[in-house]
Structure 1
Amino acid sequence: RAYKTLRLEDQERLAKRIAEDRPNNEDKEFARGQSNLAKT
């Protein structure tokens, strides 16, 4: 997946954009998952 190749900042920015643009639970979970992926 493309997400794994993104730098940490890009992942967090993407996660924030997803959470802001589509604030339903599924997208929030996805954004949180991306953020957690970036931290590990």
Structure 2
Amino acid sequence: WVKDHRQLLVKVEEMVCTEPLDMQDTPLLSFRNATLS
């Protein structure tokens, strides 16, 4: 699961980098919800 988790982190980092600064927390919250579900 480490590889999958690492790939998810990379995707989230890319999302955060492409999102505006004021929207930076949104993909992080979505990622947290995805990991819990």
Count of paired positions: 30
**TM-score normalised by the chain length of structure 1:** 0.49
Alignment identity in percent? Answer: 3
Residue 22 in structure 1 maps to residue 19 in structure 2: yes
Q: Per-residue displacement from partner, 1:15-38 (whole Å, max 9, x unpaired)?
A: 11011112242x631x2121x233
**RMSD of aligned Cα (Å):** 1.9
Report the secondary structure of 1:13's partner residue. helix
Larger RCO, structures 1/2 (Cα 8 Å, 6+ apart): 1
Amino acid at match of 1:18: M
Aligned partners of 1:20 and 1:12: how far apart in 2? 12
- Flag as ranges the 4+ runs of structure 1 deviating above 6 A: none
- Where do 5+ consecutive residues of structure 1 fail to align? 1-6
1:10 matched to 2:7? The reply is: yes
- Structure number with greater Rg is 2
